[in-house]
Amino acid sequence: MTMAEAQLGGLQDEFTCLVCLYTLNDPVTIPCGHNFCLKCLTDCWDQSQECSCPQCRHTFTTRPELNRNTQLNEVIKRYKRPRLSPPLSQNYAGPGDVECDFCTGKKFRAVKSCLTCMASYCQTHLQPHYEVAALKHHKLVDPDRNLKEKFCGKYQKSLEMFCRTDKTFICLMCAVNEHNSHEKSALETEREGKKKQLVETQSEIRKRLEDKEKKLKKTRSTVEEMKVGGIKMTLHIKERGEKVKE
């Protein structure tokens, strides 16, 4: 290790994004002087009603334009240190975890599944999806152990559509070749429709249960009234019988 590398190595905290706690990726410098990953800061501000520095909490009246700090990015590229990660023992896949498809030997726990690659990745093997331009557009989801069920065996493509005519999931090639004239919808559209339908069904079932509960209460009340009425009638007849004897 050169003296320059040793000196820069001691500045690891300066190269760490305080949002994700990893080495800066596409670093941007905001007016208060602090650095963050472009994606981390963008996501942070998109989810907040105000734009403030996650480190010093300085608030900006107008959202600053985020431009990559080219010089800092080159320094990080040249002297990049491993990203911070939990102890290895915590990364090993355990019962119920989805395993990384690219680990050899003992498998690490997957942190994401890619619907484009149809594979699951641990934190280390996932990095290219954040750093390689050709992979950045891939669709990442939470670890999914049922990826094969979302994969078209005929065309080796991910199932991205639903054929309403045949009531089956299809890929884009299926949509063009076998289901061209059929009624189709995007999976997200179909999922939202099913979710809405489920909510309506649950609401209807809840209403039916409430109606049945009301009827049951009314029936119980009627039975109680009949019991009371029967007791009163019995007492009345008994009283009349005693008066006749007298």
**Does residue 73 carry a pLDDT above 70?**
yes
Domain range list for the chain: 3-84, 85-145, 192-246
| Sign of the Cα pseudo-torsion (193, 199, 202, 208, in order) | negative
Tell whether the model's pLDDT for residue 5 goes beyond 60: no
**Given this model, what pLDDT does residue 57 score?**
83
Distance CA 92, CA 176 (A): 42
Do residues 30 and 66 touch, judged by C-beta distance below 8 A? yes
**pLDDT recorded at residue 237:** 67
With a cut of 60, say whether residue 244 has pLDDT above it. Answer: no
Residue 236 has a pLDDT of 63
Q: Tokens 């809840």 map to which residue?
A: 206
- Residue among 183, 178, 191 at smallest CA distance from 167: 183
> Using CA atoms in the order 169, 171, 172, 173, what is the torsion angle rounded to 10 degrees?
-120
Q: Which is more confident, 83 or 124?
A: 124
With 60 as the cut, is the pLDDT of residue 1 above it? no
Domain with residues 3-84, CATH architecture: 2-Layer Sandwich (3.30)
pLDDT value for 79: 62
pLDDT above 90: percentage of residues in the chain: 0
Mean pLDDT of 8-33: 75
At residue 232 the predicted structure's pLDDT band, cuts being 50, 70 and 90, is low
Which CATH number is associated with domain 85-145?
A: 4.10.640
What is the rounded average pLDDT of the residues 118-141?
A: 85
